C-alpha cells in the first residue's frame, strides 16, 4: 500500500495523521486556527502560490504570527507532492494555529503544519443544490477575511440541512438576503450568454479558483459580471456552476425543483481551467 498522508511539522516529515494539538491548545477550545487548500492532480499544482499567500493573510487576519513565508510553504508543498506517485490526486493543506492565549491568541505561540493527502477529485457529473436557511455572516460578525476553521460549523449545518432534503450542497445568502456562495464553493450563474457571480462584499472569501475562472473567461471574451445576485436570479438562470478547491469546476444540475443541464458556460470554464492548469 502507498502512504495516503504526509505531514510536515516542527522541521520533519511524518507519515499518517500525527497528534499535534493538546487539550490546552488555544486552537482546540478557542478556534485560533486557519488553513488553506490547494490541489495536485495530473502532475500539476495550479495556483499553489496563491493558496500559500492566502494562508499567510488568513493567519495575520486572525492575529497569528506566520512562522514561514509563502515561498517556503510552497517549496514544502512541492516536496510533499513529489513523495507521492505522479498520478496522485492530492489535497494540500497548510495550517497555522495558536498554542496559547486567553481568548485573544498569543501570536508568539503560533505553530505551523502542512498536511498533504490523497483525495480524488469528484467526477464532474453535477451536483444538486437548495436554498439554505443558514447565512454567511457580515465582516463585523465573524472573521470573514480569513479562511478560518471557526467559520465552517455553520456551513456544516447548511450541508446537513441540504442532505436531509436530498441535495448535495446549499446556497447560502448574506445578511442582506442576497446570494453569497455555496456552503463549500463559490457560485456562478449564466443568463442570456452573460456569466454572473456574487460580488465579494466581505461575507465570503474571494476564492482562488473563482478569481482564476473569472480571469480565464474574460480573456476568452466572455462577459462576466460580478454583481448582486438574488434568489430570483437563481430561479431564472439558464445554467449554474460552482468553483472551489475540492472539485475545481462543477456543474449544478438541479436547483430546488429545477432541473438544469451542464451548459456551455460551465463547459467553457472547465475546459479553460484545465488548459490553464497544464500550461
- Across the range 14-40, mean pLDDT stands at 96
Task: Look at residue 2 and tell me whether its pLDDT is greater than 90.
Answer: no
DSSP reduced 3-state for 241: strand
Per-residue pLDDT of 201-213, as tens digits, reads: 999 999 999 999 9
DSSP reduced 3-state for 239: strand
Could you give the angle at the alpha carbon of 211 between the alpha carbons of 208 and 212, nearest 5°? Answer: 85
pLDDT reported for residue 17: 92
Distances (CA, A) of 13 to 76, 98, 141: 10, 21, 38
Per-residue pLDDT of 241-277, as tens digits, reads: 999 999 999 999 999 999 999 999 999 999 999 999 9
Q: Give the CATH architecture of domain 127-277.
A: Alpha-Beta Barrel (3.20)
Domain boundaries defined on the chain: 5-118, 127-277
- Across the range 219-227, mean pLDDT stands at 98
pLDDT reported for residue 3: 76
Looking at CATH, the fold of the domain delimited by 5-118 is given as: D-amino Acid Aminotransferase; Chain A, domain 1 (3.30.470)
Q: What are the residues whose beta carbons fall under 8 Å from the beta carbon of 229, sequence distance 6 or more?
A: 178, 179, 187, 189, 196, 197, 198
Q: What are the residues whose beta carbons fall under 8 Å from the beta carbon of 160, sequence distance 6 or more?
A: none
Amino acid at each position: 500500500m502507498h502512504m495516503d498522508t504526509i505531514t510536515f511539522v516542527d522541521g520533519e516529515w511524518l507519515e499518517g495523521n500525527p497528534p499535534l494539538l493538546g487539550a490546552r491548545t488555544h486552537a482546540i477550545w478557542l478556534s485560533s486556527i486557519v488553513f488553506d487548500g490547494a490541489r495536485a492532480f495530473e502532475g500539476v499544482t495550479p495556483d499553489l502560490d496563491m493558496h500559500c499567500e492566502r494562508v499567510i493573510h488568513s493567519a495575520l487576519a486572525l492575529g497569528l504570527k506566520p512562522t514561514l513565508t509563502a515561498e517556503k510553504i510552497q517549496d514544502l508543498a512541492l516536496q510533499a507532492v513529489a513523495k507521492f506517485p505522479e498520478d496522485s490526486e492530492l489535497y494540500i493543506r497548510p495550517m497555522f494555529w495558536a498554542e496559547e492565549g486567553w481568548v485573544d491568541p498569543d501570536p508568539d505561540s503560533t505553530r505551523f503544519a502542512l498536511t498533504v493527502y490523497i483525495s480524488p477529485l469528484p467526477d464532474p457529473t453535477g451536483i444538486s443544490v437548495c436554498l439554505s436557511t443558514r447565512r454567511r455572516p457580515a465582516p463585523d460578525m465573524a472573521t470573514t477575511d480569513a479562511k478560518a476553521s471557526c467559520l465552517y460549523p455553520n456551513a456544516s449545518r447548511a450541508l446537513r440541512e441540504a442532505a436531509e432534503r436530498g441535495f448535495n450542497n446549499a446556497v447560502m445568502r448574506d445578511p442582506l438576503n442576497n446570494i453569497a456562495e455555496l456552503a463549500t464553493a463559490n457560485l456562478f450563474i449564466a443568463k442570456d450568454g452573460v456569466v454572473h457571480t456574487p460580488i465579494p462584499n466581505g461575507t465570503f472569501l474571494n476564492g482562488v479558483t473563482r478569481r482564476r475562472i473569472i480571469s480565464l473567461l474574460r480573456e476568452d471574451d466572455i462577459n462576466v459580471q460580478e454583481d448582486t445576485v438574488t434568489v430570483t436570479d437563481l430561479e431564472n438562470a439558464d445554467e449554474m456552476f460552482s468553483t472551489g478547491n475540492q472539485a475545481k469546476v462543477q456543474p449544478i444540475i438541479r436547483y430546488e425543483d429545477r432541473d438544469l443541464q451542464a451548459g456551455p458556460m460551465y463547459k467553457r470554464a472547465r475546459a479553460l481551467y484545465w488548459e490553464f492548469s497544464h500550461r
